[in-house]
Amino acid sequence: MRLFLLPISTRRTLLYCKRLDVANAESSSWLDKGTAKAANIWAGWEQKEKGWQKKVVDYGNQALKRIPYEEWGLKSIPALSTRKEAAEESGKDKVEVIFPASLIPESNVLDVLKKLGTERQSLHRKWLIGSFIGMPISAPVALIPIIPNLPFFYLCYRAYSNYKALAGSKHVEFLVDKQLVAPKPSTILDQLYSNGKQPFQNDVAPPSAQAPSTDATEQMILHKSICKPIATELGVPELEIELDRAIWQVEKELQLEKEQREEKKELEERKKSASGDKME
């Protein structure tokens, strides 16, 4: 497999994996075969012009779009099997990490990889447990005729998704701890990012220890115009959708943070003004 570090903003990066041994990978497992079959059914529903299936797809796609891009990225990393662990630990399967050196200094790659691989583990465990708890609660909806049990299916998907993300994060943690990664700067990525390049900030501390983002410290780096070129050059077609989703989520979050700061500033100014009026 090969890992990619793709900056979205000056403080956020997408970690994504391209699997090189698809023929022998765990994608042949019954779970992944079932997922592939469900994806084909979903794609068929998307082609319908109207009806309940089309409505389910429309609502479903909106829900999927809101699943954190970090989770999608970690899901792309295969689980660490016993065979793979032995092969990687022997040094035969050292994993390349492709990144734009103009945005991420090579000396920071391992720290960034470690952070992205471990910071969400507790969150994925929590979601996994919560999804399993919610399944039997939502199961009775299936008794309603005609209407599909969407809450149950969604919880099943979220359980699967968080299980895959947790497995992927543990694989990354193993690679970093065992020093089994090989950073490889990409001049192609440097060229593609060049139009919107911003200095990279290596925030390796846990999210709770980081200072709040401001417009001065966090700006968008990735633009929609280069999502397809990046996916094409890296040979990962599905990456275009992942990057587009990440941009949408980060832009939305930064806009919300900006609005909250403006509201807070306005509130403080009103308090100062009110305090001044009382003094007079």
Helix/strand/coil (H/E/C) assignment for every residue in 70-112? HHHHHHCCCCCCHHHHHHHHCCCCCEEEEECCCCCCHHHHHHH
Residue position matching structure tokens 């447990």: 129
The per-residue pLDDT for range 73-131, each reduced to its tens digit, is: 999 999 987 666 666 666 666 899 999 999 999 999 999 999 999 999 999 999 899 98
Mean pLDDT score, 22-32: 53
- The confidence score (pLDDT) of residue 165 equals 94
Determine, yes or no, domain membership for 85. Answer: yes
Determine, yes or no, domain membership for 209. Answer: no
pTM confidence score: 0.78
Q: Return the axis-axis angle of helices 227-234 and 239-279, rounded to nearest 10°.
A: 140
Compute the distance between CA of residue 191 and CA of residue 64 in angstroms, rounded to an integer.
31
Pairing of strands 13-18, 2-7: antiparallel
Residue position matching structure tokens 């960034």: 112
Number of domains in the chain: 1
Task: Please answer whether residues 5 and 13 qualify as being in contact, where contact means their C-beta atoms are separated by less than 8 angstroms.
Answer: yes
Confidence band, pLDDT 50/70/90 cuts, at residue 177: very high
Determine, yes or no, domain membership for 212. Answer: no
pLDDT at 72 over 90: yes
Determine, yes or no, domain membership for 138. Answer: yes
Determine, yes or no, domain membership for 227. Answer: yes
pLDDT at 279 over 70: no
Task: Please answer whether residues 19 and 235 qualify as being in contact, where contact means their C-beta atoms are separated by less than 8 angstroms.
Answer: no
Determine, yes or no, domain membership for 66. Answer: yes
Determine, yes or no, domain membership for 165. Answer: yes
3-class secondary-structure state, position 237: coil
Confidence band, pLDDT 50/70/90 cuts, at residue 154: confident
Q: Which domain holds residue 275?
A: 2-202+218-279
Compute the distance between CA of residue 42 and CA of residue 47 in angstroms, rounded to an integer.
9
